[in-house]
Chains A and B, each alone.
Chain A
Amino acid sequence: MAIVPIKGNWWNAPVERTEALWIGIALVWAIIMFFMMPYWHMVGNQNLSTEAYKVTPDAYEAKVDAFVEKYQVREEGDTGIPVVKPPAGGDVYLLARQFEWYPIVELEKGQNYRIHVSSMDVQHGLSIQPANINIQVHPYYEMIFNATPTDAGEYGIVCNEYCDIGHHTMLGKLYVK
């Protein structure tokens, strides 16, 4: 029994058939699951870029402000959040801070964009709903990934990394036309 010591050369005892069979099956499944990941890198359409740079919040905010100034088309809401429409194939700059996503962007369906994201203060979670795309946002790091929206509509940007007391009020917006 498993609660008493075991004498003898137990390593040499033959393995019973059910266990041997299951071991074979489990190993095959393990290898299949492992290779799914590099496989998806080769043929799949959803992979997270590893492009990132160390940056200071001030320097990053300057890039965001320049982006907003260049491509702003209107404002929205009582707080006057700028809505920015970048050119297709261009760079999109988003920042996260306690407790807002800035700015609101308007993208075109089927077009690729280079999306930059960083935080001004603590960690935040970029959660684009209802697409359910979830990416972690750090201060002092600028992450860049390519995204092609596949469905038109109005998306919410939820924050899903706890970022202190106003965390649940942090909600942005993203349009895909």
Chain B
Amino acid sequence: MAEPENTGAGEGPEPFMQQLLNNPFLLLFLGVLFPSVLYTIWGIIEVASIPVGQ
């Protein structure tokens, strides 16, 4: 049951985004890095910046 459509998915080098998405360890690294920096570390800085009262 051939689908005679040009899906553009056939030949050529693997697209860059596809390579990225095919790399579990790179994704693991990004998935830990992003929340660690943007949520955890930024949050710790926010708490540490609360001034001491008089």
**CB–CB B15/A12 < 8 A:** yes
Task: Tell me the bound Cα distance from A102 to B2 in angstroms.
Answer: 77
Q: Which of A9, A11, A13, A55 contacts B53 (CB 8 A)?
A: A55
The answer on a CB contact under 8 Å between A54 and B51 is: yes
The answer to the question of A77 belonging to the interface, with a C-beta cut-off of 8 Å to chain B, is no
**Chain B residue contacts of A14, Cβ below 8 A:** 7-8
B17 an interface residue at 8 Å Cβ cutoff?
yes
In the complex, the answer to whether A53 meets B53 with C-beta atoms within 8 Å is: yes
Does any Cβ of B come within 8 Å of A10's Cβ?
yes
Contact among A8, A10, A13, A54 with B52 in the assembled complex (CB-CB below 8 Å): A54
Bound complex: CA A158 to CA B7 (Å): 61
With both beta carbons as reference points, the residue of chain A lying nearest to B21 in the complex is identified as: A11
B38: Cβ under 8 A from any A Cβ: no
* A-B CB contacts (within 8 Å), total count: 43
Q: What CA separation (Å) do A14 and B5 show in the bound complex?
A: 11
- The reply on A145 being an interface residue by CB < 8 A is no
When chains A and B are docked, how far (Å) is the Cα of A9 from the Cα of B8? 8
The tally of residues in B whose CB lies under 8 Å from a CB in A reads: 16
Q: Which of B12, B18, B21, B53 contacts A142 (CB 8 A)?
A: B53
**A73 CB within 8 Å of chain B:** no
Which residues of chain A are near B14, meaning CB under 8 Å?
Answer: 9, 11
Residue of A nearest to B53 (CB): A53
Kindly state whether residue A52 has any CB partner on chain B within 8 Å.
Answer: yes
In the assembled complex, the CB of A144 is this many whole angstroms from the nearest CB of chain B, namely 10
Is the C-beta of A165 less than 8 angstroms from some C-beta in chain B? no
7 contacts between A and B (CB under 8 A): A8-B7, A9-B11, A9-B15, A11-B17, A14-B7, A14-B8, A55-B52
Q: Which 4 A-B pairs have the closest CB atoms?
A: A53-B53, A11-B18, A11-B15, A8-B9
Chain A positions within 8 Å of B, measured between CB atoms, are 8-14, 52-55, 59, 141-142
Known: A11-B21, A53-B52. 15 other contacts (CB 8 A): A8-B9, A9-B9, A9-B11, A11-B14, A12-B8, A12-B12, A13-B8, A13-B9, A14-B8, A53-B50, A54-B51, A54-B53, A55-B52, A55-B53, A142-B53
